[in-house]
């Protein structure tokens, strides 16, 4: 019987007596002997961890932005006026001061966590941030 050689761009030469399954098995066996499988697994795990850290950092940045907006919304709640209706003075009640202080501390914590992740590569706090 005359064997014909089939040429394709991906496979240099396959004889008609060889099966695709046999070629796949041979390539898997060759890959198993090399580090290709391990390299592929490592690459996938690294990409997963990078995505997890990026998502956590983005979440922290969004939380800082939201907290900053909340902080800017807090205005003095005790206002005194002049006779011409212009504001004479503004003051904070204890409740508003406490709320402002709590948000300021939260924002400082978030900023420190973000800086630690970006500057030092330590993402432990970013990943545990609520």
pLDDT at position 28 over 70: yes
pLDDT at position 16 over 50: no
pLDDT at position 32 over 80: no
Give the separation between CA 91 and CA 108, rounded to whole angstroms. Answer: 24
- In the Cβ-directed half-sphere of 52, how many Cα atoms lie within 13 Å? 10
Confidence of residue 13 (pLDDT cuts 50, 70, 90): low
| Rounded to 5°, angle at Cα 105 from 103 and 107 | 70
- What pLDDT sits at residue 37? 79
Is-contact 96 77, C-beta < 8 A? yes
- What pLDDT sits at residue 23? 81
Query: Model's pTM, two decimal places?
Result: 0.67
CA proximity to 129, closest of 120, 111, 118? 111
Give the separation between CA 54 and CA 61, rounded to whole angstroms. Answer: 11
pLDDT at position 26 over 90: no
Give the separation between CA 60 and CA 96, rounded to whole angstroms. Answer: 25
């Amino acid at each position: 019987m005359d064997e014909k050689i089939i040429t394709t761009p991906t496979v240099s030469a396959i004889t008609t007596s060889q099966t695709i399954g046999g070629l796949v098995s041979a390539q898997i066996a060759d890959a198993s002997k090399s580090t290709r499988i391990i390299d592929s697994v490592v690459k996938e795990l690294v990409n997963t961890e990078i995505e997890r850290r990026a998502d956590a950092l983005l979440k922290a940045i969004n939380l800082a932005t939201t907290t900053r907006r909340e902080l800017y919304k807090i205005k003095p709640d005790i206002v005194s006026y002049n006779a011409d209706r212009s504001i004479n003075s503004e003051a904070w009640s204890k409740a508003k001061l406490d709320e402002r202080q709590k948000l300021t501390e939260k924002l400082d914590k978030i900023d420190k966590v973000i800086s630690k992740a970006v500057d030092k590569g330590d993402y432990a706090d970013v990943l545990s941030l609520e």
